[in-house]
Amino acid sequence: MCGIFGLISKKNVLKSCINGLKLLEYRGYDSFGIAGLTKDNMFLYKKPGKISLLEENLKNIKVHLSLAIGHTRWATHGKPTKLNAHPHMDHKSSIALVHNGIIENFDEIKKMLISKNIHFQTDTDTEVIVQLITYYYKNDLIKATKKALNKLIGSYAIALIHKDYPNQIIASSKESPLAIAIDEKKDEMLISSDPNAFLGKDLNITFLSNNEIALITNKKINIYSNTLNLLNKKYERFNSKKISANKNGYEHYMLKEIYEQPITIQKAYFGRILDFNKKVEFEDFNLSKNYLQNLNHIFILACGTSYHAALYAKYLIEDLAKTHVFAEIASEMRMKELLITNKDLAIAISQSGETADTLLATKLIKNYDSNILAIINKTNSTLSREATSYIFVKAGPEFSVCSTKAFTSQITVMYLFAIYLASIKKIDKLNTSLLLKELKKIPSKIKKVLKLAPQIKILAKKYSKYEKFFFLGRNYMYVAALEAALKLKEISYINANAYPAGELKHGPLALACEDHPVIAFLSNEKTYDKMLSNLMEIKARNAPILAIASKKSKAIEDIADDVIYLPKTIDELSILPSSVASQLLAYYIAKERKTDIDQPRNLAKSVTVE
Ligand code: AGP
């Protein structure tokens, strides 16, 4: 949930450190800080708010840093104040440390250190780490750091510098990702919670495994095991020179990423539909056909928007492949008895591949010998390393906290997987060719939806004044309603709730009234008529109705106050145009309400704490 960045270079590293932190700010933006070493002392600058505050003030900061570590924070322990911002110093002001993760036994360690007359300045768990290192430090910094880290219970990715070691950064991690990179051309050494911070560079990169510790200087990087034996780590090429991290003229990353969807949906299926729409294959896929043919159940686990992709996949796999699927919210799955065996398949869906709830549920499942298939948008992620096999959704870096293109790419990949599984199981009546031809028409249909933006913008102005919404749908359209409600909720702060339309009369209908509009999804042929009768119930309670449909009828024109007509496609794919339309609606309503669309309050892009 926070971002750590650091680098050592021959040139002044302050600006590079700011740029690295800006690329991590989507992970948390309550406060930021940078610590570095000049030739004779420690530099420390930290504040609540966003890194742009430092960038604006840079001209007044005359300092040359040979190395620096930085942090963007999503507050877990302690309010987002200057005091609680990272980096944290020890009581001797000799060490500066940044941390991502949660230390569960920090209170007990803090009490021990206070009993040794060590004075604490903050109420963060992170300060305990830096004070404990200093407490153990005699004259070997690596040993003192390792001894302190071995006392911690919980998760951490840390980086630290010491005023008496002007040319080194120490880094370590446990259950929290930390990438180490070498830029040979620029003769720089870098660390980051997330390779996103290296965008635009061509590097050799490796990841610390649990309990490993790195000693980084401008000459070399030594990585040691938990017992401080020197390791020979494998580095891989990470060339992101062609990937841009800017908004390309869009006002927000979210809008840019919405408009990328005709291309990203195509990328999700490109090269995976073979033999003239007769076959689906996935590259580097190592689950055997025999294993998949004889599956008992599938458990799909995820969080947030990715959970909505999981629920969609449940409906579709059961429809097409006739395999029983459980769609599980990962944080809930961890709290119950898992009836999973090695005859079952677990599928973990995660854009970031770093969501703690999903990772922890995945770790739990590994105890049941079940294979794990990861559906991810980042190949260099913890989840991709934990899984038996993975399918890359290829949506490209998604910076807006609000997931859009990653979701539609997840839907596309799960659609392909359902067809793949059904064809392996030789399900008769499976019309693979029709299903795949329809998928290939989707990018042009999404372009048509994007052309509706002016109409959607007008509707957003009208509906932005309401403080609560129902989102309704049935079957695949219920999933569309869930996802649309989450979009609106998280970027406009409106109380938006989704229900299966048939559920309304069992309670929620009590809320229907003129200041509680309903947004209804009717782009499924199978549920169209039922939805119309549900809307009649709503209309009778004077609630405003905005229908999102692909079929015109006198009934819908009479019942709905407004209708957004989408290009028609098969029921199994109608969630894609419906989602893009509701993404635009949420975006323009949030714009009307002047919220921070790319970095909404209280949220972060990658929830790496449970
Ligand atoms: C989506 O708009 C949200 N930002 C959030 O629900 C997100 O989908 C969830 O945190 C899961 O993230 P992941 O896909 O990276 O695991």
Please state, as a whole number, how many other Cβ atoms lie within 10 Å of the Cβ of residue 267: 18
Q: Provide the edge-to-edge strand list for the sheet that holds 31-37.
A: 42-48, 31-37, 67-73, 3-8, 188-192, 179-183, 202-207, 236-239
In a domain, 448, yes or no: no
Q: What's the CA-to-centroid distance between 132 and ligand 1, angstroms?
A: 34
Specify the DSSP class assigned to residue 168.
-
In a domain, 315, yes or no: yes
Q: Does residue 459 share a domain with residue 405?
A: no
Q: Residue 214: CB partners within 8 Å, gap ≥ 6? A: 169, 170, 171, 172, 180, 191, 208, 221, 222, 223, 224
- pLDDT grade for 199, boundaries at 50, 70 and 90: confident
pLDDT of residue 73: 80
Q: Within its chain, how far is the Cα of 76 from the centroid?
A: 18
pLDDT (average), residues 269-277: 92
**Alpha carbon distance 116, 176 (integer Å):** 30
Active-site residue (options: 2, 17, 303, 402): 2
Range of lowest pLDDT (193-207, 212-226, 324-338, 567-581): 193-207
Give the global pTM: 0.81
Amino acid, res. 458: I
**Alpha carbon distance 372, 573 (integer Å):** 26
Give the CA distances from residue 164 to residues 11, 37, 168, 222, in Å, rounded to whole numbers and listed in that order.
Answer: 20, 10, 10, 19
Give the CA distances from residue 53 to residues 50, 196, 387, in Å, rounded to whole numbers and listed in that order.
Answer: 6, 21, 40
**Alpha carbon distance 12, 66 (integer Å):** 6
Pocket residue to mutate for ligand 1, from 355, 413, 587, 595, most atoms within 8 A of Cβ: 355
pLDDT of residue 510: 94
Q: Does residue 273 share a domain with residue 226?
A: no
pLDDT of residue 29: 75
In a domain, 262, yes or no: yes
Q: The CATH number of the domain where 487 resides is what?
A: 3.40.50.10490
Q: Each residue of 531-551: pLDDT tens digit?
A: 999 999 999 999 999 999 999
Report whether residue 126 contacts ligand 1, using a CB cutoff of 6 Å.
no
User: Which of 78 and 124 is assigned the larger pLDDT?
Assistant: 124
Q: Does residue 275 share a domain with residue 204?
A: no
Q: Does residue 166 share a domain with residue 78?
A: yes
Q: Does residue 13 share a domain with residue 104?
A: yes
Q: Does residue 358 share a domain with residue 331?
A: yes
Report whether residue 381 contacts ligand 1, using a CB cutoff of 6 Å.
no
Q: Does residue 396 share a domain with residue 486?
A: no
User: Which of 345 and 175 is assigned the larger pLDDT?
Assistant: 345
In a domain, 602, yes or no: no
Write the DSSP assignment of 311-372 as a string of letters. Answer: HHHHHHHHHHH--EEEEEEHHHHTTS-----TTSEEEEEESSS--HHHHHHHHHHHTTT-EE
Domain boundary among 443, 474, 509: 443
Report whether residue 579 contacts ligand 1, using a CB cutoff of 6 Å.
no
In a domain, 608, yes or no: no
Q: What's the CA-to-centroid distance between 406 and ligand 1, angstroms?
A: 9
Report whether residue 355 contacts ligand 1, using a CB cutoff of 6 Å.
yes
**Alpha carbon distance 438, 240 (integer Å):** 33
Write the DSSP assignment of 421-440 as a string of letters. Answer: HHHHTT-TT--HHHHHHHHH
Q: The CATH number of the domain where 42 resides is what?
A: 3.60.20.10
Q: Is 201 a catalytic residue?
A: no
Q: Does residue 428 share a domain with residue 460?
A: no
Q: Does residue 587 share a domain with residue 490?
A: yes
**Alpha carbon distance 176, 194 (integer Å):** 10
- Cis check for the bond before 544: say yes or no (omega within 30 of 0): no
Q: Whose CA is nearest to atom 7 of ligand 1?
A: 304
Residue 417 belongs to what domain range? Answer: 253-443
Q: Each residue of 30-71: pLDDT tens digit?
A: 889 999 998 878 999 999 988 888 888 888 888 999 999 999
Q: What's the CA-to-centroid distance between 403 and ligand 1, angstroms?
A: 6
**Alpha carbon distance 195, 205 (integer Å):** 9
Q: Which atom of ligand 1 is nearest to the CA of 402?
A: 2
Domain boundary among 416, 443, 470: 443
Domains held by the chain: number? 3
Q: Residue 281: CB partners within 8 Å, gap ≥ 6? A: 272, 274, 420
Q: Is 2 a catalytic residue?
A: yes
Pocket residue to mutate for ligand 1, from 257, 258, 300, 303, most atoms within 8 A of Cβ: 303
Q: Does residue 152 share a domain with residue 21?
A: yes
The 3-state secondary structure of 24-43 reads CHHHCCCEEEEEEECCCCEE
Report whether residue 402 contacts ligand 1, using a CB cutoff of 6 Å.
yes
Q: Each residue of 444-460: pLDDT tens digit?
A: 999 999 999 999 999 99
Q: Each residue of 469-502: pLDDT tens digit?
A: 999 999 999 999 999 999 999 999 999 999 999 9
Q: Which atom of ligand 1 is nearest to the CA of 404?
A: 2
In a domain, 604, yes or no: no
In a domain, 166, yes or no: yes
In a domain, 424, yes or no: yes
> What are the phi and psi torsion angles at 216 (to 5°)?
-110, 120
Reply yes or no on whether the pLDDT at 8 is more than 70: yes
Element (H, E) at 261: helix 261-269
Strand-pairing partners, residue 237, are 204
**CA count, 13 A, side-chain hemisphere, 120:** 22
Structure tokens at 592: 């009307």
Closest CA to 519 of 599, 596, 462, 568: 462
pLDDT more than 90, % of the chain: 79
Q: Does residue 263 share a domain with residue 231?
A: no
Q: What's the CA-to-centroid distance between 487 and ligand 1, angstroms?
A: 11
Q: What's the CA-to-centroid distance between 187 and ligand 1, angstroms?
A: 36
Q: What's the CA-to-centroid distance between 173 and ligand 1, angstroms?
A: 23
Rounded to the nearest 10 degrees, what angle do helices 432-450 and 261-269 cross at? 160
- pLDDT grade for 1, boundaries at 50, 70 and 90: low
